[in-house]
Amino acid sequence: MSMTLWPPELADDYRARGVWTGVVFDDLIAGRAADPRFADRAAVVDAQCSLTYGELDDRVGRLAAGLVARGIDRGDRVLLQIPNGVPFVEAVFALWRAGAVPVFGLPAHRESELVGIAEAAGVVAIISPAERTDFDYRALARAVAGRVRSITQLLDSDRLEDLWAEPITHPRADPEDLGFLQLSGGSTGVPKLIPRTHADYLYSVRRANQVCGVDADTVYLVVLPAGHNFPMSSPGILGTLQAGGTVVLAAAPLPSVAWELVQRERVTMVGLVPPLARLWTETAERGTDIDLSSLQTVQVGGARCPDALARRIGPALGARLQQVFGMAEGLVCYTGLDDPIDEVVTTQGRPMSELDQLRLVDEDGAPVTGGPGFLETQGPYTIRGYWDGRSPESFAPDGWYRTGDVVEFSPAGNLIVRGRDADRINRGGEKVSAEQVEEHLLAHPQIRDAIVVAVPDSYLGERSCAYVIAHDPAATPTLPEIRGFLRGAGLAEWKLPDAVKAVADFPETGVGKVSRKRLRELLTAAGA
Ligand code: J2J
């Protein structure tokens, strides 16, 4: 179990500059609770419950002691699958206080993904809701535990109090140690886990707060899955807590659910993916009785926001737009709060740190001047490798991260995202690895070969289409059959193909060995 560290000379530079500090995640809560100016301010709120910094700190202390009493040791990895709500924040900070390592599963992950994550991370426990009417998370956790031997405990995120013990003193974490693992959106059957340290991540959070103007008056609404990097840190949950503001968690991102919370809690900031930004914008344009006047900043990121939509968001929601182009591997770019509106609606911003280094290369890794080109990056909060050195081809020989994104620069120096390599589909912010879906399709008895590609979609930006060669063309499985098959194989709903096309053969790739990557490119270029 290992992570790839930064080269020593870079690490020394980041320390010397005060970019990596001695602060650890637990300090965010413990520090605020100990400060009389903040102890009684609201820290986390959901539809049912509200906790001050003091209350959150107290509950985190009891839960952390309870976790230790149950044998969760320092460095142990614990998989979380907790829907948005106050318990998510309590569980994460309790694990940090206990010295354990949260592994961020998403509520939409299913057995295949969770087993892959749990095995790759060697998790010892799963924390998820035991009794929910919308989905049986406990049955899923049991199925995963039945397949992954390291898991010894299933804990209920809806009854965290049952785990409490009298608070104890915990040793302090090392700021440059592993803080948590996140799952890369490009993960194949073998998941790519992203190791982040306290020091690198907290630097990104502090920078995000500066760029986004987050302070103690910020009320940030979480509508995207809380374990995702965007709502976690851009500036998200951690940025808001670090500034002493209030985090509000919505159970669902729909205006019908989330807007009540905007009105009730006087939310000032929210992060959305483009399809949600469209839904919020169109709903507001039709007129609403709900008071959204507290909104100051609406962020859009995760996938390319069409310029025409970007232009409507601010006026419709009575807030300023901020585009965010980020990745859980590190680099995050923001448009400036004072950028001219044309720059804000047509670009995806610029790196938040002057220590972020960017370069553009062609398909063979040769430098490209001007652009567009494939973006590679290194910096004080961008990882140098996946957990256990998986997928080394995602990093250049000198350790820079290959984002796979095709970008160019605006005259003002902001990035414009033009596309990305064909192996990953971006379904409205939710990433689909073509290879992962293909692997599962090939297990279908009627399917001889399959290629999954992106096709344009007016709502999602992209959706997925599976090109399928059947053993017997007359017996090509239908779309519902294929979706049912993949669902049964334990794949998350967003990865199931949106369309299926039966074909007799794939186009020639022009290379001796059939390159799946090239095939995806050809089929994508053919307009799918
Ligand atoms: C085009 N593509 C984008 C954008 C991400 C903040 C915001 C988003 C993420 C995220 C994140 C895009 N326009 N504005 O972690 O902290 C695509 C790119 C990128 C990939 C990363 C954050 N914003 N993308 O989306 O790890 O292809 O992170 O490489 O899920 O999403 O996906 P992910």
Q: Is the CB of 204 under 6 A from ligand 1?
A: no
Q: Is the CB of 348 under 6 A from ligand 1?
A: yes
> Of all protein residues, whose CA lies closest to atom 13 belonging to ligand 1?
304
Atom of ligand 1 nearest to the CA of 429: 25
Atom of ligand 1 nearest to the CA of 403: 29
Q: Is the CB of 403 under 6 A from ligand 1?
A: yes
Buried/exposed code over 227-263 (b: 16+ C-beta within 10 A; e: otherwise):
bbbbbbbbbbbbbbbbbbbbbbbbbebebeebbebbb
Give the burial class of 335: count Cβ atoms within 10 A of its Cβ; 0-12 exposed, 13-18 middle, 19 or more buried: buried
Q: Which of 276, 283, 409 is nearest to 346 (CA)?
A: 409
Q: pLDDT (tens digit, 0 to 9) for every residue of the chain, 528 residues total?
A: 799 999 999 999 999 999 999 999 999 999 999 999 999 999 999 999 999 999 999 999 999 999 999 999 999 999 999 999 999 999 999 999 999 999 999 999 999 999 999 999 999 999 999 999 999 999 999 999 999 999 999 999 999 999 999 999 999 999 999 999 999 987 776 799 999 999 999 999 999 999 999 999 999 999 999 999 999 999 999 999 999 999 999 999 999 999 999 999 999 999 999 999 999 999 999 999 999 999 999 999 999 999 999 999 999 999 999 999 999 999 999 999 999 999 999 999 999 999 999 999 998 899 998 889 999 999 999 999 999 999 999 999 999 999 999 999 999 999 999 999 888 999 999 999 999 999 999 999 999 999 999 999 999 999 999 999 999 999 999 999 999 999 999 999 999 999 999 999 888 766 555 677 888 888 887 764
**Topology classification of domain 27-35+49-173:** Rossmann fold (3.40.50)
Q: Is the CB of 303 under 6 A from ligand 1?
A: yes
Please determine, for the modelled complex, whether the ipTM score is greater than 0.95. Answer: yes
Atom of ligand 1 nearest to the CA of 417: 1
| Torsion on CA atoms 221, 224, 227, 233, rounded to nearest 10 | -50
Tell me how far CA of residue 182 lies from CA of 21, 152, 186, 268, in angstroms: 22, 21, 12, 27
Q: How far is the CA of 401 from the centre of ligand 1 (A)?
A: 14
Q: How far is the CA of 157 from the centre of ligand 1 (A)?
A: 28
Pocket probe mutation, ligand 1, options 325, 334, 425, max atoms within 8 Å of Cβ = 325
Q: What is the pTM of this model?
A: 0.96
> Of all protein residues, whose CA lies closest to atom 7 belonging to ligand 1?
326
> Of all protein residues, whose CA lies closest to atom 2 belonging to ligand 1?
303
SS3 77: strand
Q: Is the CB of 110 under 6 A from ligand 1?
A: no
Atom of ligand 1 nearest to the CA of 300: 14
> Of all protein residues, whose CA lies closest to atom 3 belonging to ligand 1?
303
> Of all protein residues, whose CA lies closest to atom 9 belonging to ligand 1?
326
> Of all protein residues, whose CA lies closest to atom 21 belonging to ligand 1?
327
Q: Is the CB of 328 under 6 A from ligand 1?
A: yes
Pocket probe mutation, ligand 1, options 327, 333, 374, max atoms within 8 Å of Cβ = 327
SS3 371: coil
What would be the CATH architecture of the domain defined by 424-525?
Answer: 2-Layer Sandwich (3.30)
Q: Is the CB of 333 under 6 A from ligand 1?
A: no
Q: Is the CB of 240 under 6 A from ligand 1?
A: no
Q: Is the CB of 201 under 6 A from ligand 1?
A: no
Is there a contact between 67 and 96 (Cβ–Cβ < 8 Å)? no
SS3 240: helix
Tell me how far CA of residue 86 lies from CA of 77, 159, 206, 407, in angstroms: 21, 12, 23, 38
Q: How far is the CA of 229 from the centre of ligand 1 (A)?
A: 9
Domain extents in the chain: 27-35+49-173, 424-525
